[in-house]
Amino acid sequence: MEVNNEARLNIVLHKNQIPIHSSSARFRVIKAGKRFGKTKWAIFELCQAAGRSPRSVFWYIAPSYRQAKSIAWYELLWILPPSYIKRKVETELLIELWDGARIELKGADNEDSLRGTGLAGVILDEAAYIKEILWTDVIRSQLVDTMGFAYFISTPKGKNWFTSFHAEAKRKNMRGDKDYESFYFTTLDNPTLNHDELM
């Protein structure tokens, strides 16, 4: 089974999500305002990747396990058609596709539970609210065997490691490093919102 386009999933990306999706960078760093559609895009990317990578493991990590469930679990169940799902375990926030790939939702608040598993891809949602050490000392090494991807998305939170990482990704890309690309959007860049409500 291959999940490889928006039409087969229950989502249509808006025009400002498409450049992020079209990027070929292994490490994508997205700073965007609230209600831009960061999490929907993230879940879409995980579903596509899982459909292309049998028996691989993909993680979505939120600042806490509770946030992972409230923010992303029902988005995942909505975007991914039931016919693609072999098994779902809500108590573990885990979905297994018919190709054997797994999508798991995790919380950064239980760091020890995140060690060891080889990953084909990971998304850190609201990365500015997650400790940098989780990326540098835990998750990064779990992508080595598979050359897996990592996407970092967050609303701004002053100056912190995510701010620096976003700027560094931009510098690396400008120097020709195609593994990195950064993006910046505001809430107003979501064309599906009623902009009168935002004024």
Q: Which two tokens stand for residue 55?
A: 């028996």
Q: Mean of the pLDDT values across residues 113-135?
A: 93
pLDDT at 111: 84
Q: What is the pLDDT of residues 12-22, one digit of tens each?
A: 777 878 889 89
Q: Which two tokens stand for residue 18?
A: 């498409």
Pairing of strands 94-97, 85-89: antiparallel
CA atoms within 13 A of residue 166's CA, in its CB half-sphere: 22
The H or E element containing residue 46 is helix 38-52
| Residue 1 pLDDT exceeds 50 | no
The pair phi, psi for residue 86, each rounded to 5°, is -85, -40
Q: What is the pLDDT of residues 38-89, one digit of tens each?
A: 888 999 999 999 999 999 999 999 999 999 999 899 999 999 999 999 999 9
Q: Which two tokens stand for residue 103?
A: 């999508």
71: buried, middle or exposed (CB in 10 Å: 19+, 13-18, 0-12)? buried
The CB-based long-range contact list for 9-12 (8 Å cut-off, 24+ gap) reads 9/44, 9/47, 9/48, 9/79, 9/80, 9/81, 10/78, 10/79, 10/80, 10/81, 11/40, 11/44, 11/79
- The angle subtended at Cα 170 by Cα 164 and Cα 173, nearest 5°, is 140
In sequence order, the β-bridge partners of residue 31 are: 154, 184
Q: What is the share, in percent, of the chain residues with pLDDT greater than 90?
A: 69
pLDDT at 29: 97
Rg of the chain over Cα atoms, rounded to whole angstroms, equals 16
| Residue 95 pLDDT exceeds 50 | yes
| Residue 3 pLDDT exceeds 80 | no
Q: What is the pLDDT of residues 163-196, one digit of tens each?
A: 999 999 999 999 999 999 999 988 776 667 655 5
pLDDT at 2: 39
The H or E element containing residue 85 is strand 85-89
132: buried, middle or exposed (CB in 10 Å: 19+, 13-18, 0-12)? middle
